[in-house]
């Protein structure tokens, strides 16, 4: 396609890919290629403006008659509920926590990007767009990303108006910092609690609409099924987690803003309850799952301390600005007190391998390097399995250079948190860190309107795949969640709703009854297997498989092995699970069982996706695809496409997922290989 012109008159800068390898042969069925049916055209900077104009409006008097279900109250869901409520639609909002304010967006620490160029350091919408596409290793859609960069500035305005207490300078104006290795200062922050403050802003805006009567909130409700009637998403089946009642909720449109599925690895920085159930149920009803293997692994987390570990804690990336990362040169030093290891016996491996970026190399590179050090047997900290899984992050130089007080001022809360969890004082002993799963770029496939391939099903935030390609820049997930919720969805959903209100669906409709029956049956099944193992133990085992074979480094053999292991695990799960208690009260084991069942199926698909993609890009590193000196090697000519997977039935019954490819065409940016050496 290179050299030709697209129908909007622009020239594509890359060719359509042509895959020659077929590692996943036998695990999947090839489907038809797909394209975004509502992809915008014209000069990139006008696309969103034009689209907002072209999209049809809904008469204010009609809005009251239109019902919108929004599952999820994080930044993506909370912001959408507030905005659509303000517009006058009838919104029903769902979350599994006891309050919308507790969605996992609350845990984000570092900040949120916006192209405000307040520092006059050369930032612009185009630069943010460029950085995001490049950061995503050219695996995202350029129109979507451009729109994200374009609305980023409005997000900050909106949040400030709501009372989000961003950090300010002495003159009372907003402060920015540079984040995640980019060269401009465009990150807005509220100390280390940016996600919390943004979410509370969205939550309060949403509660205001609850008071106004436009939003009805359903907390401690878990969506367990999507209702599809005549090909359109028309509602959900949810379980009231307190009474156990299985409820039917019908609407004209359904939005999933249910967050990421990083917990498929069991240990991650996600919340205990983060899950894939809502997305997976939609997937099983026909929605495509795109690029599920793209996982972001964050290099600075507190290492696992033992078998009992239930989750991992992230330590802000900013620590890498002053801390130096090293491991002992000699294996026998690994059990020594680090302070007794002389300078010449330390290997500051990032500074050694990447002299120009040093400790500030991107997340995936820093993570992988730590893994290699530990695999070589030079890790530190307690033995976990056969290895010590940790590397030192040392502040002694910084303390000497800046003084302990200056270090304290910058990082005190992080140091405190570290000490609370590990019992070690990082002012005296170097911290130990290890990578952990942090974010997933993959998610349900959506078009430019954030609508999935099921009409009436929209997906926003981390739950969709749209903006980050194969890797996400720091401080961009919060931006995406709020962009989707405040500015994108309200402007795209109206085009769909302009055809509504749709024909009323009755609770007795066959599709509704069937969906409800399926949910009930599944619950009864969990409670009646009566085996010997808890859902949690299956989850742990799945996590180990995923981390080992579908984690920081993936190989053809490993992935095949993982798929076999997961299939065995799945068979065992459905025959040997043990869930106590009953279905008609709060029952956390039952909730867990449902989530784990879906994670197992997702894990299998992730491995198949990873197996198919025989290239290294962003967070996905295939050992078979690296340069001579061990760096990630992309294959644009084969893989510059979105892998959108269609559910093809249960693998235990011979089903295979169907792969649909969407070519990624760039007209505004030329593709380049990354280099951080």
Ligand X SMILES: Cc1cc2nc3c(=O)[nH]c(=O)nc-3n(C[C@H](O)[C@H](O)[C@H](O)COP(=O)(O)OP(=O)(O)OC[C@H]3O[C@@H](n4cnc5c(N)ncnc54)[C@H](O)[C@@H]3O)c2cc1C
Number of residue whose CB is nearest ligand X: 74
The span of 42-50, 70-78, 167-175, 494-502 binding ligand X (CB under 6 A) equals 70-78
Using CB under 8 A as the binding rule, the residues of this chain from 404 to 433 that contact other proteins are: 417, 420-423
* Interface pick for ligand X out of 115, 205, 223, 552 (rule CB under 6 A): 223
Please report how close the Cβ of residue 378 comes to ligand X at its closest, in angstroms: 27
Using CB under 6 A as the binding rule, the residues of this chain from 430 to 459 that contact ligand X are: 438-439
Q: What share of the chain is helix, strand, coil (3-state, %, to 5)?
A: 40, 15, 45
Residue 172 or 342 having the CB closest to other proteins = 172
According to the binding rule CB under 8 A, does residue 656 interact with other proteins? no
What totals of helices (H) and strands (E) does the chain contain, helices first?
A: 18, 22
Residue 438 or 494 having the CB closest to ligand X = 438
Please report how close the Cβ of residue 461 comes to other proteins at its closest, in angstroms: 16
Is residue 78 a contact partner of residue 199, using CB atoms and an 8 Å limit? yes
Please report how close the Cβ of residue 420 comes to other proteins at its closest, in angstroms: 6
Q: Which partner from the list ligand X, other proteins, none does 223 bind, CB cut-off 5 to 8 Å by kind?
A: ligand X
Is residue 313 a contact partner of residue 417, using CB atoms and an 8 Å limit? yes
* Interface pick for other proteins out of 83, 300, 464, 466 (rule CB under 8 A): 83
3-state secondary structure of 434: strand
Residue 77 or 235 having the CB closest to other proteins = 77
Q: Compute φ and ψ for 431, nearest 5 degrees.
A: -70, 155
Q: How far apart are CA 266 and CA 268, in angstroms?
A: 6
Please report how close the Cβ of residue 151 comes to other proteins at its closest, in angstroms: 11
Helices (H), 404-476: 404-422
Residue 135 or 390 having the CB closest to other proteins = 390
Is residue 302 a contact partner of residue 311, using CB atoms and an 8 Å limit? no
Q: Residue 645 gets which letter from DSSP?
A: E
SS3 of 111-177: the string is CEECCCCCCCCCCCHHHHHHHHHHHCCCCCCHHHHHHHHHHHHHHHHHHHHHCCCCCECCCCCECCE
Q: How many residues bind ligand X (CB under 6 A)?
A: 46
* Interface pick for other proteins out of 9, 165, 231, 531 (rule CB under 8 A): 165
Told to judge if 234 belongs to the known catalytic residues of this protein, a careful annotator would answer no
* Interface pick for ligand X out of 34, 108, 156, 602 (rule CB under 6 A): 108
Q: Which partner from the list ligand X, other proteins, none does 490 bind, CB cut-off 5 to 8 Å by kind?
A: other proteins
According to the binding rule CB under 8 A, does residue 329 interact with other proteins? no
Q: How far apart are CA 432 and CA 418, in angstroms?
A: 9
Euclidean distance between the first and the last CA atom of the chain, given in angstroms as a whole number = 32
Q: Residue 16 gets which letter from DSSP?
A: P
Q: How many CB atoms lie within 10 A of CB 290?
A: 24
Q: How far apart are CA 404 and CA 640, in angstroms?
A: 48
According to the binding rule CB under 6 A, does residue 217 interact with ligand X? no
According to the binding rule CB under 6 A, does residue 110 interact with ligand X? yes
Q: Which partner from the list ligand X, other proteins, none does 111 bind, CB cut-off 5 to 8 Å by kind?
A: ligand X
Q: How far apart are CA 668 and CA 22, in angstroms?
A: 30
Q: How would DSSP label each residue in 32-67?
A: --B--TT---SSGGGHHHHHHHHSPP--HHHHTT-E
The span of 155-163, 387-395, 607-615, 642-650 binding other proteins (CB under 8 A) equals 155-163
According to the binding rule CB under 6 A, does residue 95 interact with ligand X? yes
The span of 59-67, 471-479, 575-583, 596-604 binding ligand X (CB under 6 A) equals 471-479
Question: What is the rounded radius of gyration, in angstroms, for the C-alpha atoms of the chain?
Answer: 24
Count the alpha carbons within 13 Å of 128 in the hemisphere toward its beta carbon. Answer: 32
* Interface pick for ligand X out of 117, 152, 248, 270 (rule CB under 6 A): 270
Q: Residue 438 gets which letter from DSSP?
A: E
Residues 6+ apart with CB under 8 A from 171: none
3-state secondary structure of 564: helix
According to the binding rule CB under 8 A, does residue 617 interact with other proteins? no
Residue 281 or 661 having the CB closest to ligand X = 281
Binding mask 24-63 for ligand X (x = CB under 6 A): ----------------------------------------
Please report how close the Cβ of residue 342 comes to other proteins at its closest, in angstroms: 29
Residues 6+ apart with CB under 8 A from 503: none
Q: How many CB atoms lie within 10 A of CB 510?
A: 9
According to the binding rule CB under 8 A, does residue 221 interact with other proteins? no
Using CB under 8 A as the binding rule, the residues of this chain from 50 to 79 that contact other proteins are: 79
* Interface pick for ligand X out of 69, 82, 251, 278 (rule CB under 6 A): 278
Q: Strand 187-188 relative to strand 112-113: parallel, antiparallel, unpaired?
A: antiparallel
According to the binding rule CB under 8 A, does residue 576 interact with other proteins? no
Q: With CA atoms as reference, report the closest residue to 516 among 286, 283, 250, 252.
A: 250
The span of 23-31, 72-80, 540-548, 601-609 binding ligand X (CB under 6 A) equals 72-80
Q: Residue 68 gets which letter from DSSP?
A: E
Residue 222 or 615 having the CB closest to other proteins = 222
Q: How far apart are CA 425 and CA 402, in angstroms?
A: 18
Q: How many CB atoms lie within 10 A of CB 312?
A: 22
Catalytic residue (choose from 141, 363, 378, 613): 363
According to the binding rule CB under 8 A, does residue 470 interact with other proteins? no
The span of 30-38, 90-98, 144-152, 613-621 binding ligand X (CB under 6 A) equals 90-98
Give the helix/strand (H/E) hosting 596: helix 588-612
Binding mask 524-543 for other proteins (x = CB under 8 A): ----------x-xx------
Please report how close the Cβ of residue 391 comes to ligand X at its closest, in angstroms: 20
* Interface pick for other proteins out of 124, 305, 544, 576 (rule CB under 8 A): 305
Residue 478 or 566 having the CB closest to ligand X = 478
Q: How far apart are CA 631 and CA 368, in angstroms?
A: 10
According to the binding rule CB under 6 A, does residue 493 interact with ligand X? no
Residues near ligand X, by CB under 6 A: 71-77, 94-97, 103-105, 107-112, 194-195, 221-223, 257-260, 269-270, 274-275, 277-278, 314, 438-439, 461-463, 475-478, 481
Give the catalytic positions in this structure: 363
């Amino acid at each position: 396609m290179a050299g030709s012109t697209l129908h909007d008159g622009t020239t594509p800068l890359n060719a359509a890919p042509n895959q020659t390898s077929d590692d996943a042969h036998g695990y999947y069925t090839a489907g038809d290629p797909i394209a975004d049916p509502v992809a915008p055209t014209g000069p990139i900077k006008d696309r969103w403006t034009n689209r907002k104009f072209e999209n049809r409006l809904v008469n204010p008097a009609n809005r009251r008659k239109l019902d919108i279900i929004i599952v999820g109250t994080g930044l993506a869901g909370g912001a959408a509920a507030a905005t659509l409520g303000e517009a006058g639609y009838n919104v029903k909002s769902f979350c599994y926590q006891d309050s919308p304010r507790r969605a996992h967006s609350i845990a984000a620490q570092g900040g949120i990007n916006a192209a405000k160029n307040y520092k006059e350091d050369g930032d612009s919408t185009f630069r943010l767009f460029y950085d995001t596409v490049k950061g995503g290793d050219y695996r995202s859609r350029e129109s979507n990303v451009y729109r994200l960069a374009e609305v980023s500035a409005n997000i900050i305005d909106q949040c400030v108006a709501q009372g989000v207490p961003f950090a300010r300078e002495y003159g009372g104006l907003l402060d920015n910092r540079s984040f995640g290795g980019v060269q401009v200062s465009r990150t807005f922050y509220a100390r280390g609690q940016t996600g919390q403050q943004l979410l509370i802003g969205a939550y309060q805006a949403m509660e205001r609409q609850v008071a106004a009567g436009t939003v009805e909130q359903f907390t401690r409700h878990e969506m367990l099924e999507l209702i599809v009637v005549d090909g359109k998403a028309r509602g959900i089946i949810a379980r009231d987690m307190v009474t156990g009642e299985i409820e039917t909720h019908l609407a004209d449109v359904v939005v999933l803003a249910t967050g990421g599925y990083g917990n498929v690895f069991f240990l991650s920085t996600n919340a205990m309850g983060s899950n894939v159930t809502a997305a997976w149920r939609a997937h099983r009803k026909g929605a495509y799952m795109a690029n599920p293997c793209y996982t972001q692994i964050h290099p600075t987390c507190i290492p696992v301390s033992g078998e009992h570990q239930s989750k991992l804690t992230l330590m802000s990336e900013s620590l890498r600005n002053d801390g130096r990362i090293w491991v002992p040169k000699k294996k026998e030093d690994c059990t020594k007190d680090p302070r007794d290891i002389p300078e010449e016996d330390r290997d500051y491996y990032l500074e050694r391998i990447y002299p120009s970026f040093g400790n500030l190399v991107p997340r995936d590179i820093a993570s992988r390097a730590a893994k290699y050090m530990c695999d070589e047997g030079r890790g530190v900290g307690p033995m976990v399995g056969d290895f010590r899984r940790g590397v030192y992050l040392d502040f002694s130089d910084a303390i000497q250079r800046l003084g302990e007080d200056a270090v304290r001022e910058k990082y005190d809360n992080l140091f405190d948190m570290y000490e609370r969890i590990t019992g070690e004082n990082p002012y005296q002993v170097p911290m130990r860190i290890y990578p952990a799963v942090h974010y997933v770029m993959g998610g349900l496939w959506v078009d430019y309107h954030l609508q999935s391939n099921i009409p009436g099903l929209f997906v926003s935030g981390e739950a969709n795949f749209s903006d980050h390609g194969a890797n996400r820049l720091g401080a961009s997930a919060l931006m995406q969640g709020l962009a989707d919720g405040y500015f994108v969805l309200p402007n795209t959903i109206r085009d769909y709703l302009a055809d509504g209100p749709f024909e009323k669906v009755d609770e007795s409709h066959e599709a509704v009854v069937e969906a409800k029956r399926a949910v009930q049956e599944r619950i009864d099944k969990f409670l009646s297997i009566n085996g010997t193992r808890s859902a949690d133990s299956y989850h742990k085992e799945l996590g180990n498989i995923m981390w080992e074979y579908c984690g920081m480094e993936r190989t053809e053999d490993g992935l095949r092995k993982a798929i076999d292991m997961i299939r065995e695990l799945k068979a065992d799960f459905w025959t040997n699970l043990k869930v106590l208690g009953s279905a008609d009260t709060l029952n956390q084991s039952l909730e867990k069982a449902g989530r784990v069942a879906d994670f197992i199926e997702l894990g299998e698909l992730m491995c198949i996706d990873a197996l198919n993609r025989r290239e290294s890009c962003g967070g996905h590193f295939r050992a078979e695809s690296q340069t001579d000196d061990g760096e990630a090697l992309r294959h644009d000519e084969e893989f510059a496409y979105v892998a959108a997977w269609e559910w093809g039935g249960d693998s235990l019954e011979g089903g295979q997922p169907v792969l649909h490819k969407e070519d990624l065409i760039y007209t505004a940016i030329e593709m380049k290989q990354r280099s951080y050496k």
